[in-house]
Structure 1
Amino acid sequence: MTSVNTAIIPVAGLGTRFLPVTSSIPKVMLPIIELPAIHLIIQEIVDSDIQKLVLVIGNDADTIKQYFNPTESLKKILKSQNKEYLIDKIFELNQKIEIRYVTQKHPRGLGHAILQAKNLTQNEPVAVLLPDDIISTTDEPITKLMINEFHRIQQSVIAIRKVPDDLISSLGIIRHNSKDFHEKLFEITELIEKPSIKDAPSNLAVTGRYIIKPEIFDILENTQPGALQEIQLTDALSSLLQHQKIYGYKFPGEHFDIGTPLGLIKANIFYASQKSEFKKELMNWLKNQNSIY
């Protein structure tokens, strides 16, 4: 059985929707309660039994690197105050996964970002996690659930979710075989980027998690740049689909698009409501706000 040992997270995006704050802080470092979003994504990888991580960074990623390597001065200050526990979560994460960095020197699309990690993947299937998508499941993390399906069918698996009509024209939508593999797996026959509602073959959208066979890297190397001279992962997956089956996994749980300010707010409210120290006061505050407006 082919294992999934490496995950890739592209974090070189500029985060223009969050300017001006992202002029000095990478978007993936924006917090969800006390943890930056990137920490939650990496925790998902660790909980999915993946041992290696490649972070595809931009030219200005010192903040990300520093987060995973706290300074000696900070350690000394916290130790003197008996507050070392405040950064224990970082050390726990570091002990469980090997993090390596590759640089995408110019923003040339998601496919190009993934391609930068090729030499660190050892010609094995990889998990790709997009940090704009935070997904909370009640049991095992979504990446683990998808790996389980990959092991069972030995084909690439893409996370999908049902979306309302007003979002269809801004997302990648799948066409699928009318005979579903089972209630959660759909055999994809076509990937369509941002179709009109009229032309959309379904309301199932691609959602930020992929388990992809290693042939994707050779395809990416030969994929011609499209609009804005970018190499897109969707184009490469469409080419892969001509040679291999790809399945969509309709996942259970909550999804938050934290690539938008409103999505980040929703994620913070959701995760705060899961914490006992916040839940009661937060719910009361939200109830009062609802009565006011």
Structure 2
Amino acid sequence: MPAIRKAVFPVAGLGTRFLPATKAMPKELLPIIDKPIIQYAVEEAIDAGIETLIFVTGRNKRAIEDHFDANLELEWALLEKGKQEARDMIRNIVPSRVECLFVRQPEQLGLGHAVLCARRAVGDEPFAVLLADDLMHQDSGTPTGDLIEAYSRTGKSALCVAEVAASEVNKYGIVSPRSALSDNTWDVAGLVEKPTQEAAPSQLASFGRYVFAPEVFDILEKTQPGAGNEIQLADAIDVLAARGDVVANRLKGIRYDCGDKLGYVKAVVHAALRSDPIGSELDMFLREFGYQRSEAA
């Protein structure tokens, strides 16, 4: 089974739910304390063994490229002020062994189209897709690493899933499981995008981590525009699943939707509570409002 060394990050969206903050700044650079959202996804990919990061960008997204590029003037300024640790931090955002590539999505024609734009950079090999909006945390390993393992074990494209409330299935792509391969992995018969509660085949929702066999590109090229007149990645996944070529892997940790204002605030609070030295002080502050830190924090 070929190793998975490339990851695609679709980052061309306009981030309209966070206006006016995102009028001049990509939503992917909104900070979670002192680190932008996109950096969490990048670090997850690198921890999973990814060596090539492919960012699918759009207009006004140059700041993302700048964030992952060297800034020699800033490095020199920090060194002159004796801030060696800060200089090393910004220099090592991406290790030297990791390559960053940037491709343009000329029109926003859907998530499936964004992934398709990366075809030339990916080539004929399996690859991961990470949506920066989904910030995930687990105590051991990474969601992307777990999907890579599932792909290596089964030879099938893999989705990250978690159970949601029945009242919330209409917000997600819902997996139709064919059979359980283990306690945390299922063969997938199909994927239904935002079904009604009555029509949902399960309560297993697909979230923003994927590993795909390269065949997905051929399917995306033939996929007609669906909901919103966009090329939907979910439609291509459904075709793969009908062939018996998809598995779903349960998320072992927690996930925050940073494309949603409440989800973003929750992610910031979660990260702050786990941060030294501000975590304990924030905990004391929140207790004034009757909040008590849980073991998960």
- The amino acid of 1:16's aligned partner reads T
CA distance in 2, matches of 1:74, 1:18: 28
Distance of 2:69 and 2:130 partners within structure 1 = 22
Q: Secondary structure at the match of 1:269?
A: helix
Contact persistence 1:68–1:94 (CA under 8 A) = no
- The alpha-carbon distance between structure 1 residues 272 and 188, as it changes in their structure 2 partners (threshold 3 A), is same
Correspondence list, 1:242-253, <5 A:
242-253=242-253
Q: Helix, strand or coil for the counterpart of 1:119?
A: helix
Counterpart CA distance in 2 for 1:262 and 1:24 is 22
- Figure out how many residues of one structure are paired with residues of the other and give that number: 290
| Aligned partners of 2:190 and 2:237 also within 8 Å | no
Q: Deviations over 1:172-214 (max 9, x none)?
A: 111112x311100011111101111111111110010001100
Give the equivalent residue in structure 2 for 1:240.
240
What residue number does 1:208 align with? 208
Q: Provide Cα deviations, 1:257-281, integer angstroms capped at 9, x if missing partner.
A: 0011111111111111112312211
For residues 92-171 of structure 1, the aligned pairs below 5 Å read 92=92, 93-171=94-172
Distance 1:89 1:207 in 2: 30
Q: What is the deviation of 1:94?
A: 4.0
Which AA in structure 2 matches 1:234?
A
Residue 171 of structure 1 aligns with an amino acid whose one-letter code is: Y
- Would you say the 8 A contact 2:187–2:244 is kept in 1? no
Aligned to 1:277: 277
C-alpha distance in 2 between matches for 1:283 and 1:72: 38
Q: 2: CA distance between counterparts of 1:108 and 1:202?
A: 28
Distance in 1, Cα, partners of 2:102 & 2:34: 24
Paired with 1:87 and 1:288, the residues of 2 have a C-alpha distance of: 37
**Any residues of structure 2 matched to 1:7-46 within 5 Å, and which?**
7-46=7-46
Q: TM-score, normalised by structure 1?
A: 0.95
**TM-score of the superposition, structure 2-length normalised?**
0.94
8 Å contact from structure 1 (residues 5, 51) kept in 2: yes
**Do 2:172 and 2:193's aligned partners in 1 also have CA atoms closer than 8 Å?**
yes
Asked if structure 2 preserves the Cα contact closer than 8 Å seen for 1:30 and 1:37, the reply is yes
Listed as ranges, the gaps of 5+ residues in structure 2 are 292-297
Identity %: 35
Secondary structure of the equivalent of 1:21?
coil
Tell me the amino acid that sits aligned with residue 100 of structure 1. L
- Which amino acid in the other structure matches residue 162 of structure 1? E
- Structure 1 window deviating more from structure 2 (57-66 vs 8-17): it is 57-66
In 2: Cα distance, 1:103 partner to 1:196 partner:
35
Residue 294 (structure 2) aligns with: none
